[in-house]
Amino acid sequence: MSESPLEEGVNTESQSPQTPKGADVIRARIASLPTSPGVYRMISEAGDVLYVGKAKNIRKRVTSYTHPDRQSIRIARMIAQTIDLEIVRTETEAEALLMESDLIKRYAPRYNILLRDDKTFPYILVTGDHDYPQVVKYRGSRSRKGEYFGPFASVWAVNDTLGLLQRAFLLRTCSDNVFANRTRPCLLYQIKRCSGPCVDRISKDEYVKLVEEARTFLLGDSHGIQEGLAKRMQQASDTLEFELAGQFRDRIRALTRVQSRHEAVAAGVEDADVIAVHQDGGTTCAEIFFFRGGRSYGNRAYFPSHAKDDGPEEVLEAFLGQFYAKTKPASLILVSHVVPNHDLIEEALSVRADRRVELRHPTRGEKKRVVENAMINARDALARRLSESASQIRLLDGLASVLQLDGAPERVEVYDNSHVSGTNAVGAMIVVGPEGFMKNAYRKYNIRRAGSGGASAGDDYDMMREVLERRFSRAQKEDPDKTKGMWPDLVLVDGGKGQLSSAMSVFEELGIENVALAAIAKGPDRDAGREKIFLPEQSEPIQLGFKDPVLYFLQRIRDEAHRFAIGTHRAKRGKQIQKSILDEVPGIGAKRKKALLHHFGAAKAVSTAGVKDLEAVEGISRGIAKKIYDWFHSEP
């Protein structure tokens, strides 16, 4: 058995059919396992990670798996599928908890409680790389210099707060390039949502004061800001500067509105994340509220994937580890249930945040009231989810009946193409299931054959063939046993008999069976409600009644595929439009390209310029000028 400094485990090469499985494999490894903290991974015969767990004492924890009869049915099934065990030692149990969360996010093991969400939260950034800071919406890594406020649960919450900041503090939102080139005030200045620093309508010192007031407000001291504005309004009124007094009055009103909106909800809570879980029907909703500076930054509902016998405490514990693997925790986290391993999770979150984090289950007072409000939202969100799921299941049952399937499909893939005369051609795949659209499973394909000799421009049939060939060739390679959830029960293509024939030929060539096929074509004159459904080996199409719920369902998923395809095509076309002929000239980087465009005004003028004209541009030597000239004037 080879062992690296970080990880130890047997070699996971292909095993023979006689390779031991389950408890026998684990039992054979017990003596060699460490008694230190760490993380263990259960590996299947296909090389997939079945389960990731943490332990204070790895040997003691793993020993429990040698008795499958003492485990739940789900864990016993996991043990039976295990052929290998991989171990990573850590110095502390808190470090093991953090690593466990990261590995679960990476591998998404089927026997772990999973939080299937990869979205990052937006922030508000007060920039720090300009003399006149701007306030902007920001998402992504915090690479830009400045101060970040958030997270906000949604883009809507960010936009709402930005609108408030514009009314109350008159900070600029324009880009640095627009700021540098303005010669007269913009519309925001005219409607009193910007102080006009770009055209010197406010001094730098006065603008910096506005920035500090905005920072103070975002940090929670809105009352102090309001009192200061009231004094300045009174001073302006006393000196008969009524227009200025009116501006202070409008800013005070903006602050008053936000205070009345948030104070009732966040009373007694300054900076905290509030998390409540509610279970029903074997499903859990975890609702999180963000409070910063005594104000609500919005809320979001999550529906973790887990076994039906997992209780709310277990789901909450797993949620905390995985959610904060990518989001920085607040200094106080209020939860609806007593969390197992409370002290360990608190320590791990403090390590993650690089400061003290308190995890608390309040039992009285204002904090309990806030948690109870989150519980109400979690219950309502779960009720909506279950209702939508029930409706979705009924629609899938109806679809199965219409298409003569053996049962309701669990995974439906819908395909569509988008292009303009064969240019910037893209294919799109959307996925829908019992819980609605599965957006993390959407895929887009850049069509390679269109216009390149393999397919004529605008050949929709060949484009559909290419997309399906690539999609299912990969599925055959990566999931030949159909155990990873990569295979659909139904493939629906947008189009008529031609698209259906293309799909059928791909399936025949690849030897694909047990995947239903259908095509949905728009009605005459593209009328909604007169769509026709084409099935293999059925000469006449199916046409549903105008008010049939299944028809509405098919229209909705087809329109979603069309939306996704069109959006992908437009994004690709937009990038193509932004390209310049100067991008292909060797030795011309962004700086020289900018200098050439400033000097000549257009890329076409650069292509027709002489060597001496090119040499006159700042940063262009004679050698570079000759290289540019030769590039545009060489013989084909």
Phi-psi domain of 216 (left: phi exceeds 0; alpha: psi -120 through 50; beta: other): alpha
The predicted structure's pLDDT at residue 266: 54
The residues pairing with 146 across neighbouring beta strands, listed in sequence order, are 127
Other CB atoms within a 10 A radius of the CB of residue 335 amount to 25
Residue in the block written with tokens 């049962």: 407
Is it the case that residue 279 has pLDDT exceeding 90? Answer: yes
Long-range pairs, 468-472, Cβ under 8 A, ≥24: 468/415, 468/502, 468/503, 468/506, 468/507, 469/506, 469/509, 469/510, 470/445, 471/413, 471/429, 471/443, 471/445, 472/506, 472/507, 472/510, 472/512
Mean pLDDT confidence for 433-449: 87
Q: What is the mean pLDDT of residues 261-280?
A: 75
pLDDT tens per residue across span 237-258: 878 878 778 777 877 776 766 5
Structure tokens at 438: 């599965």
The confidence band for 17, taking pLDDT boundaries of 50, 70 and 90, is very low
Give the per-residue pLDDT at 46. 83
Higher-confidence residue of 421 and 413: namely 413
How large is the average pLDDT for residues 431-435? 91
Pull the structure tokens for residue 604.
Answer: 């076409």
3-class DSSP string for 238-258: HCCCHHHHHHHHHHHHHHHHH
HEC profile of 551-577: HHHHHHHHHHHHHHHHHHHHHHHHHHH
Mean pLDDT within 377-388: 90
- Distance, CA of 460 to CA of 415 (rounded, Å): 12
pLDDT value for 576: 58
pLDDT in tens, 513-549: 889 999 998 866 555 667 889 999 888 889 888 788 8
Give the residue among 318, 340, 325, 410 at the shortest CA–CA distance from 114.
318
Per-residue model confidence as pLDDT tens digits over 350-369? 998 889 999 999 998 889 99
Q: How far is CA 81 from the centre of its chain?
A: 32
* Lowest model confidence (mean pLDDT) among 319-328, 419-428, 569-578: 569-578
> How many CB atoms sit inside 10 A of residue 153's CB?
19
Our CA angle for 500, 502, 507, nearest 5°, is 95
Cα–Cα–Cα angle for 54, 56, 58, nearest 5°? Answer: 70
* Tens digit of each residue's pLDDT (9 = 90 or more) over 210-230: 888 888 877 776 666 767 778
Q: Is the pLDDT of residue 612 over 60?
A: yes
- 503-513: average pLDDT: 92
My answer on whether omega of the bond before 151 falls inside 30° of 0, hence cis, is yes
Percentage of the residues of the chain whose pLDDT score is greater than 70: 88
Whole-number pLDDT of residue 43: 93
Give the pLDDT score at 580. Answer: 66
Instruction: Give me the pLDDT at residue 7, please.
Output: 43
- Average predicted confidence (pLDDT) for the chain: 83
Q: Which one-letter DSSP state was computed for residue 478?
A: H
CA atoms of 71 and 170, how far apart (whole Å): 62
Tokens found for residue 507? 């399936």
Domains of the chain: 7-107 (3.40.1440.10), 118-219 (no CATH), 221-265 (no CATH), 272-384 (3.30.420), 412-566 (3.30.420.340), 581-633 (1.10.150.20)
Tokens at 67, concatenated: 């008795």
